[in-house]
């Protein structure tokens, strides 16, 4: 199978498996797992933050960040297409009890003007707005990058208005590699940053939440609250360390492959695609052949040994990663061409 559903399908490398087998471990709820402590310190340092917290998933990292930044009943400003709002099973409402104030991020970028328009004056009728959530790269926007300069404008606005900024940086290293700008230059403009080890970086499990010492202390309690206190999880953190030490630079290959795939798809009649949005490892395209909806298209693709995901009844997402090379993309392009010709 050629699996283009997500970069989450990547398998741990042999080096990771060896490091996992040999990891030094302890009870992390007591802060005694040396491998987790090392991973948390490394992640924090790479983001230019004081402290880090190893969490099970990106979803847990975002939830724990919201729990640590807010109180139930607060409002958070968040993109209508963000993973935090759109794809985390409503955890922000159900488990953190916060109210999402949705702003436009259809392009994958949040404009400072949109945040500004969502600010509320002090008024007895209004909830307390506490947090702005950003996502970089933006998954539903097609892996689009928000530059540090764009993030800075929002961060300054947030600071002027006493709001914190949380960055869902699940794929922040994709943004860093694609722009040549260090991840900490993006992280500079957020109070907390979550990033994933188990996407393009190929670790089997885990994400890191980073921020100030005081924020991470609160996040550690919130992680315990949601059942995320782990014990000898250094066996997982060991793979995370390899991910950070040796899997980042190769993301450039995924980006070049996504570009190659997108350029090939763009030449096919029956597909429309915004090439300027293909900046990292995600390719989203629309099916414009009458009568061909995404469900049917994906079923035909699967019959040809290729997996992808739909984003809407007429749009499809393909994600490149370590197990996808030029040969797999050539096969995919040929399969798509055949389906469009049927
Ligand atoms: N995204 C997954 C799916 O959940 C859609 C994917 O295949 O892209 N933030 C962003 C921007 C993400 O894309 C994801 C995962 C998460 C957070 C959550 O990470 P996990 O899956 O570790 O909970």
Q: 50-69 pLDDT, tens per residue?
A: 999 999 999 999 999 999 99
Please provide the CATH number assigned to the domain covering 250-341: 3.90.1150.10
Spacing, Cα 87 to ligand 1 middle (Å): 8
Over range 42-47, report the average pLDDT. 98
This prediction's pTM: 0.98
Give 181-196 pLDDT, tens digit per residue: 999 999 999 999 999 9
List the domain boundaries for the chain.
7-246, 250-341
CA distance 203 to 151: 28
332 ligand 1 Cβ < 6 A: no
- In this structure, which residue's CA is closest to atom 20 in ligand 1? 58
CB atoms under 10 Å from CB of 206, counted, come to: 25
139 ligand 1 Cβ < 6 A: yes
Instruction: Give yes or no for a contact between 311 and 317, defined as CB atoms under 8 angstroms apart.
Output: yes
105 ligand 1 Cβ < 6 A: no
Q: Which tokens is 177 given?
A: 């590699």
Confidence of residue 206 (pLDDT cuts 50, 70, 90): very high
170 ligand 1 Cβ < 6 A: yes
61 ligand 1 Cβ < 6 A: no
Domains 7-246 and 250-341 share a fold: no
135 ligand 1 Cβ < 6 A: yes
Give 230-257 pLDDT, tens digit per residue: 999 999 999 999 999 999 999 999 999 9
Which CATH fold would you assign to the domain 7-246? 3.40.640
CA distances from 332 to 1, 116, 197, 255, 337 (A): 11, 43, 27, 16, 9
């Amino acid at each position: 199978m050629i699996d283009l559903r997500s970069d989450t399908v990547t398998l741990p490398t042999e080096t990771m498996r060896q490091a996992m087998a040999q990891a030094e471990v302890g009870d992390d709820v007591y802060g005694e797992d040396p491998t987790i402590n090392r991973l948390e310190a490394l992640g924090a340092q790479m983001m230019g933050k004081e402290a880090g917290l190893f969490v099970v998933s990106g979803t847990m990292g975002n939830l724990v960040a919201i729990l640590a930044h807010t109180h139930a009943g607060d409002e958070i400003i968040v993109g209508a297409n963000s993973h935090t709002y759109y794809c985390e099973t409503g955890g922000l409402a159900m488990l953190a009890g916060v109210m999402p104030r949705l702003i436009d991020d259809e392009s994958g970028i949040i404009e400072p003007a949109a945040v500004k328009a969502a600010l509320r004056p002090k008024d007895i009728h209004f909830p307390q707005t506490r947090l702005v959530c950003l996502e970089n790269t933006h998954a539903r926007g097609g892996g689009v990058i928000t530059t540090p300069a764009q993030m800075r404008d929002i961060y300054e606005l947030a600071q002027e208005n006493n709001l914190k900024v949380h960055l869902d940086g699940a794929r922040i290293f994709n943004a860093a590699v694609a722009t040549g700008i260090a991840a900490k230059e993006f992280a500079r403009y957020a109070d907390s940053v979550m990033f994933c080890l188990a996407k393009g970086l190929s670790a089997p499990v885990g994400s890191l939440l980073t921020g100030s010492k005081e924020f991470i202390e609160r996040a550690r309690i919130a992680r315990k609250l949601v059942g995320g206190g782990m014990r000898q999880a250094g066996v997982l953190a060991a793979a995370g360390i390899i991910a950070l030490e040796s899997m980042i630079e190769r993301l450039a290959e995924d980006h070049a492959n996504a570009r190659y795939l997108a350029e090939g798809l763009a030449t096919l009649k029956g597909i429309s695609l915004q090439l300027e949005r293909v900046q990292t490892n995600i390719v989203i395209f629309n099916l414009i052949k009458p009568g061909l909806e995404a469900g049917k298209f994906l079923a035909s693709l699967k019959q040809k040994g290729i997996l992808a995901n739909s984003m809407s009844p007429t749009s499809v997402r393909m994600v490149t990663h370590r197990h996808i090379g030029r040969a797999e993309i050539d096969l995919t392009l040929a399969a798509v061409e055949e389906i469009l010709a049927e």
